[in-house]
Structure 1
Amino acid sequence: MALLRRRRAIHGWLLLTPALVMLTTFAFYPSVATIWTSLWSRGTRRNPSEFVGTGNYQRIFDDPTFWTVAWNNILYAAVTIPVSIGLALVMALWANARIPARSFVRTAYFTPTMLPMIAAANLWLFFFTPGFGVLDQIGALFGAPSVNWLGQPETALWAVCIVTIWKEAGFFMIFYLAALQTIPPDLEEAADIEGASRWTYTRRVVLPLLMPTTLFILVNAMINSVKLIDHLFILTKGGPNDASKLMLYYIWENAFAFFDAPAAAAMTVLVLAVLGALAAFQFFVIDRRTHYR
Structure 2
Amino acid sequence: MNKRLPLGLGFVLLVMPCSLLVAFTHYPAVRALINSLWNNASSRRPSKFVGIENYEALIADEKLMQVLTNSGLYALGTIPLAIFLSISMALLVNSKLPATGLMRLSFFMPTMLPLVAVANIWLFFYAPGIGLASQIMNFFGLPTINFLGSTETSLASMMVVAVWKEAGLFMIFYLAALQAVPENLKDAARLEGAGPVRVFIDVVFPLLRPTTIFVAVNALINAFRLVDHIIVMTKGGPDNSSALLLYYIYEVTFRQRDFAYGATLTVLMVAILGVLAAFQFWVLDRKTHYQ
Relative to the length of structure 1, the TM-score reads: 0.94
Give runs of aligned pairs for residues 231-270 of structure 1, distance below 5 A. 231-270=229-268
Give runs of aligned pairs for residues 135-150 of structure 1, distance below 5 A. 135-150=133-148
Given residue 198 of structure 1, which amino acid in structure 2 is its aligned partner? P
- In 1, the alpha carbon distance for the partners of 2:115 and 2:28 equals 25
- In 2, the alpha carbon distance for the partners of 1:142 and 1:122 equals 25
- In 2, the alpha carbon distance for the partners of 1:16 and 1:147 equals 54
8 Å contact from structure 1 (residues 208, 292) kept in 2: no
- In 2, the alpha carbon distance for the partners of 1:144 and 1:15 equals 61
- In 2, the alpha carbon distance for the partners of 1:72 and 1:133 equals 26
Q: Hey, what does 2:31 align to over in structure 1?
A: 33
Q: Are residues 12 and 107 of structure 1, via their aligned partners in 2, closer, same or farther at CA, if it must alter by over 3 Å?
A: closer
Count of aligned residue pairs for this structure pair: 287
**Deviations 1:47-91, CA, capped at 9 Å, x for gaps:** 211111111111122110000101000000000011111111111
How far off its partner does 1:225 sit? 0.6
Q: Hey, what does 2:204 align to over in structure 1?
A: 206
**Deviations 1:84-129, CA, capped at 9 Å, x for gaps:** 1111111111111111111111111111111111111111111100
Q: Hey, what does 1:72 align to over in structure 2?
A: 70
User: Which range is displaced more, 203-212 or 189-198?
Assistant: 189-198
SS in 1 for 2:45: coil
- In 2, the alpha carbon distance for the partners of 1:10 and 1:291 equals 36
Q: Hey, what does 2:166 align to over in structure 1?
A: 168
Give runs of aligned pairs for residues 1-293 of structure 1, distance below 5 A. 13-292=11-290
Q: Are residues 185 and 240 of structure 1, via their aligned partners in 2, closer, same or farther at CA, if it must alter by over 3 Å?
A: same
| Structure 2: gaps of 5 or more residues | none
How far off its partner does 1:274 sit? 1.2
How far off its partner does 1:12 sit? 5.1
How far off its partner does 1:191 sit? 2.3
SS in 2 for 1:154: coil
SS in 2 for 1:163: helix
Q: Hey, what does 1:3 align to over in structure 2?
A: none
How far off its partner does 1:173 sit? 0.5
- In 2, the alpha carbon distance for the partners of 1:195 and 1:145 equals 50
Given residue 273 of structure 1, which amino acid in structure 2 is its aligned partner? A
- In 1, the alpha carbon distance for the partners of 2:29 and 2:176 equals 34
SS in 1 for 2:153: helix
- In 2, the alpha carbon distance for the partners of 1:292 and 1:129 equals 50
Given residue 117 of structure 1, which amino acid in structure 2 is its aligned partner? L
8 Å contact from structure 1 (residues 92, 176) kept in 2: yes
Q: Which stretches of structure 1, 4 residues or longer, exceed 6 Å deviation after superposition?
A: none
How far off its partner does 1:11 sit? 5.6
Q: Structure 1 vs Structure 2: percent identity of aligned residues?
A: 48
How far off its partner does 1:16 sit? 2.6
- In 2, the alpha carbon distance for the partners of 1:51 and 1:9 equals 45
Given residue 45 of structure 1, which amino acid in structure 2 is its aligned partner? S
- In 2, the alpha carbon distance for the partners of 1:292 and 1:108 equals 35
Q: Are residues 292 and 200 of structure 1, via their aligned partners in 2, closer, same or farther at CA, if it must alter by over 3 Å?
A: farther
| Structure 1: gaps of 5 or more residues | 1-6
